[in-house]
Amino acid sequence: MSTTQSMRAMRVHDASGRFVLDTIPRPTLLRPTDVLVQVKASGVVPNLRNVMSHYGDRAYLTVPDLPAIYGLDTAGVVAEVGSAVTGLTPGDRVYINPGRSCGSCHACRVGEPTNCEAYTFQGYFGFGPKSKKIYEQYPYGGFCEYATAPVDGLVKLPEAVSFETAARFGYLGTAYAGLRKGGVRAGSTVLIVGATGTLGLGATQIARAMGATRVLCVARNEALLARLQALDPRRIRTFSYGTGSMAEWAHRETDGMGVDVVIDAIGPGSPHQVTRDAIGTLRRGGKLVEIGSMTDPLPINMHEMMCSAISLIGSVWFTVGEGQDLANMIAAGTLDLEMFEHHRYPLDQANEALSDAEKRAGGFVNVVVCQ
């Protein structure tokens, strides 16, 4: 065990959302099933400043008490393991799935931890007042040198998966879980709304890896759409939203049938009309899976939905098992993520990293704080 008793951390002290470099005690393992991870990379979420300064008025979201260490997607090397930990040893490369649950409520007992009433994203936000207790147990986001996590919250990373790529797993896992809920498989036709964004680009590549034969990609930026189609000209088709009818285009691309699954990956501030138009692309019995953060209230004709047997599904985050699937697919070469452009920043430049991420230059850019 190292004799170092302190570490550096970029912490937020007030609602301005500015990070300050502090020296604080290095974490200790509170439980025999906990693991201490030396952080190597942490993803930077473009929406982070909104979380830190504007989510206080949303009763269903809870932020940690200040000063706080943010950093949602963390990858690193195991430094220490608790006495009850098996299967991991110091030196192993891991991704910390930040989804924390209480372990004892009804949802946890029936194997649905993402539905836990205390569900919390370590280093980001929680989904209700009970998240405060989770923050007390696991207060370390990725913008520090060491973080603790429960052993059952870790994805083991093959050497083929870089720490920078693993720091994108939050988006990739969210997309993968949504595609699975939509039932995507070999032969499926998938339409992705917001396809050039951080969520959408991952969904496009993962849909291909899952065997989708046609991936219809919708966004506004024509240059990014062209770059996206170049990844797989045979299977990827693109549509610039606002240039015509999305539904008519999708039906032409599917020989009049419509798509099997829509993955709605558009973010906050987008009008509900985009999602309404996406529903119109579905075939009878199709599914729309919401993985983005569109907050505009959505008017829906429920009778029409019933008669067409259309399903609307909300999907939040992903399991450790789904994260392990991603790691294994990358290692096997079935999931290609070589298109990422990693923008790397040292820990003490977390403010600059967030400013870079807030430019929202598209899903090809991956902003990472590295150590």
Contacts of 97 (CB under 8 A, 6+ apart): 153, 154, 155, 169, 173, 318, 319, 320, 323
Relative to beta strand 34-43, strand 365-370 is antiparallel
Q: Which residues contact 258 (CB under 8 A, 6 or more apart)?
A: 250, 251, 281, 282, 283, 284, 286
Neighbours of 324 (CB within 10 A): 17
Bridge-partner residues for 147, per DSSP? 37
CA pair distance 267, 16, nearest whole angstrom = 22
What pLDDT score does 95 carry? 98
| pTM metric for this prediction | 0.94
Q: What is the pLDDT of residue 166?
A: 97
pLDDT value of position 296: 83
DSSP at 144: B
User: What is the reported pLDDT for 54?
Assistant: 52
**Nearest residue to 100 (alpha-carbon basis) of 118, 76, 82, 79:** 118
- Helix (H) / strand (E) element for 272: namely helix 272-279
Give the 3-state secondary structure of residue 105.
coil
Closest CA to 29 of 148, 176, 172: 148
Please give the pLDDT value at position 297. 85
The C-alpha atoms of residue 46 and residue 120 are separated, in whole angstroms, by 19
CATH architecture of 6-168+340-370: Alpha-Beta Complex (3.90)
Structure tokens at 215: 């991936």
Residue 129 has a pLDDT of: 84
At the second CATH level, the architecture of 172-314 is Alpha-Beta Complex (3.90)
Here the tokens at position 261 are 């699954």
Nearest to 88 by CA among 132, 151, 133, 25: 151
Residues 6+ apart with CB under 8 A from 49: 17, 354, 358
Per-residue pLDDT tens listing for the chain (371 residues): 444 699 999 999 987 889 999 999 999 999 999 999 999 999 999 888 877 765 444 555 788 889 999 999 999 999 999 999 999 999 999 999 999 999 999 999 998 888 898 999 999 989 888 889 999 999 999 999 999 999 999 999 999 999 999 999 999 999 999 999 999 999 999 999 999 999 999 999 999 999 999 999 999 999 999 999 999 999 999 999 999 999 999 999 999 999 999 999 998 778 899 999 999 999 999 999 999 977 888 899 999 999 999 999 999 899 999 999 999 999 999 999 999 999 999 999 999 999 999 998 889 999 999 99
Contact 266/275 with Cβ under 8 angstroms?
A: yes
What residue type is assigned to position 22 of the chain? D
Residues 6+ positions from 293 with CB-CB distance below 8 Å: 47, 266, 267, 268
Angle at 264 between CA 262 and CA 267, to 5 degrees: 170
The token pair at 133 is 């207790």
What tokens does 307 get? 């008669």
Q: What is the pLDDT of residue 324?
A: 97
Q: What CA–CA distances, in Å, run from 276 to 148, 175, 222, 312, 331?
A: 42, 20, 22, 11, 37
CB 149 within 8 A of CB 75: no
Helix (H) or strand (E) holding 208: helix 198-209
Tell me how far apart the terminal alpha carbons of the chain are, to the nearest angstrom.
Answer: 20
Q: Report how far residue 217's alpha carbon sits from residue 196's, in angstroms, rounded to the nearest whole number.
A: 8
Q: What is the torsional sign of CA 170, 172, 178, 180?
A: negative
Residue ranges of the chain that CATH labels 3.90.180.10: 6-168+340-370, 172-314
332 Cβ contact list (under 8 Å, min separation 6): none
